[in-house]
């Protein structure tokens, strides 16, 4: 971080952000580089800070004065700080004043009144009791829900048993099994043969032996198909 004017450059060394506790002493360095050639340039060095509300503090001098023959050289100026409380939080600047004025870009210092404070025993105990109570309530609710679910299943089973009684066997009222498609076809063919006998006036049995043999073969095939279907 640097700023320059009239051949003077002011920079900070170290981190641009620092975090410290109150009542802590700290220091940072401002580097001042004079590249005015052989010209002797007399100046004063000071520092100030801007707080988080934008208020500027008064400037305080730094015991850092130029020496003869420091042209084109760098001079380190140390700033010693005592940070009393959080109100010291802000951005700190180094400033060089002479026939020209130059200042650094600043370093932000955050001051905390207290560091990390572990929670007290009472807070931990309250959290533990709350968590245990929550688990107990969830356990009771889960048990009650389980019993209610079992009761609903039992009531549903009784209702189903009353509305849908099991079939009782009755003597003499057993319905014959449904006819197979092959039995139905067999009855149709018998009716067709009877119709042919009525129209021709001759019984089917008077047909040729080959026809009878074919009919017997068809009957055998029908019986085989019926047995296969039953299997």
Same domain? 105 vs 202: no
In a domain, 125, yes or no: no
Say if 59 falls within a structural domain: yes
Residue 159 lies in a domain: no
Question: Which of 89, 112, 135 is a domain's end point?
Answer: 112
Question: Is residue 72 one of the residues assigned to a domain?
Answer: yes
List pLDDT tens digits, range 6-61: 567 888 888 889 998 888 888 888 888 776 554 556 778 899 999 999 899 999 99
- pTM of the prediction? 0.46
Task: Output the pLDDT for position 117.
Answer: 64
Contact predicate 26/10, CB 8 Å: no
What one-character-per-residue DSSP string does the chain give?
-EEEETTEEEEE-S-SEEEEETTEEEEEEEEEEE--TT-----EEEEEEEETTSPBPPPEE-S----TT-TTEEEEEEEEEEE-SGGG-EEEEEEEESSSEEE---EEEEEESS---PPPHHHHHHHHHHHHHHHHHHHHHHHHHHHHHHHHHHHHHHHHHHHSPPPPP-TT-PPPPPPPHHHHHHHHHHHHHHHHHHHHSS-GGGS-HHHHHHHHHHHHHHHHHHHHHH-
For 134, phi and psi rounded to 5 degrees?
Answer: -65, -40
Q: Final residue of a domain: which of 65, 86, 112?
A: 112
Which residue range(s) make up the domain with 216? 181-230
Among the ranges given (28-37, 117-126, 192-201), the one the predictor scored with the smallest mean pLDDT = 192-201
Mean pLDDT calculated for residue range 66-78 = 72
Last residue of a domain, one of 90, 112, 134: 112
Tell me whether residue 105 is in a domain: yes
> Does 105 share its domain with 193?
no
Q: Are 102 and 188 in the same domain?
A: no
Residues 88 and 188 in one domain: no
pLDDT in tens, 157-179: 776 665 555 555 555 455 555 55
Q: Which two tokens stand for residue 50?
A: 């801007």
Provide the pLDDT for residue 65.
73
Say whether both 90 and 12 belong to one domain: yes
Domain count across the chain: 2
- Angle, CA of 82, 87 and 88, to the nearest 5°: 35
Q: How far apart are CA 7 and CA 102, in angstroms?
A: 9
Residue 21 lies in a domain: yes
Per the CB < 8 A criterion, the answer to whether 44 and 97 are in contact is yes
pLDDT at 106 over 70: yes
What's the CATH code of the domain at 41?
2.60.40.10
**Percent share of the chain, pLDDT over 90:** 12
Nearest alpha carbon to residue 78 among 89, 92, 62, 90? 62
How many Cβ atoms are within 10 Å of 19's Cβ, its own excluded?
A: 11
Distances (CA, A) of 216 to 179, 197, 222, 225: 22, 18, 10, 14
Is there a single domain that holds both residue 190 and residue 96? Answer: no
Angle at 10 between CA 9 and CA 15, to 5 degrees: 135
The answer to whether residue 167 is domain-embedded is: no
The answer as to whether 142 is a domain residue is no
Query: Who contacts 159 (Cβ-Cβ below 8 Å, separation ≥6)?
Result: none
Give the pLDDT score at 212. Answer: 56
């Amino acid at each position: 971080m640097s700023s320059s004017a009239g051949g003077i450059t002011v920079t900070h060394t170290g981190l641009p952000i620092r975090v410290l506790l109150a009542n802590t002493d700290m220091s940072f360095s401002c580097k001042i580089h004079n590249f005015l050639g052989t010209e002797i340039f007399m100046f004063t060095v000071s520092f100030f800070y801007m707080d988080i509300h934008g208020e500027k503090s008064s400037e305080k001098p730094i015991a850092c004065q130029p020496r003869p023959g420091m042209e084109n050289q760098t001079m380190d100026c140390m700033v010693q700080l005592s940070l009393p409380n959080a109100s010291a939080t802000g951005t700190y600047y180094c400033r060089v004043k002479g026939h020209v004025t130059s200042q650094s870009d600043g370093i932000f210092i955050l001051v905390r009144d207290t560091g990390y404070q572990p929670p007290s025993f009472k807070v931990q105990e309250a959290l533990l009791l709350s968590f245990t109570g929550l688990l107990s309530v969830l356990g009771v609710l889960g048990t009650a829900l389980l019993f209610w679910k079992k009761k609903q299943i039992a009531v549903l089973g009784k209702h189903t048993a009353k509305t849908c009684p099991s079939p009782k066997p009755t003597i003499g009222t057993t319905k014959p099994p449904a006819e197979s498609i092959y039995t139905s076809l067999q009855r149709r063919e018998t009716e067709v043969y009877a119709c042919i006998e009525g129209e021709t006036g001759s019984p089917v049995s008077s047909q040729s032996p080959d026809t009878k043999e074919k009919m017997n073969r068809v009957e055998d095939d029908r019986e085989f198909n019926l047995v296969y279907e039953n299997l």
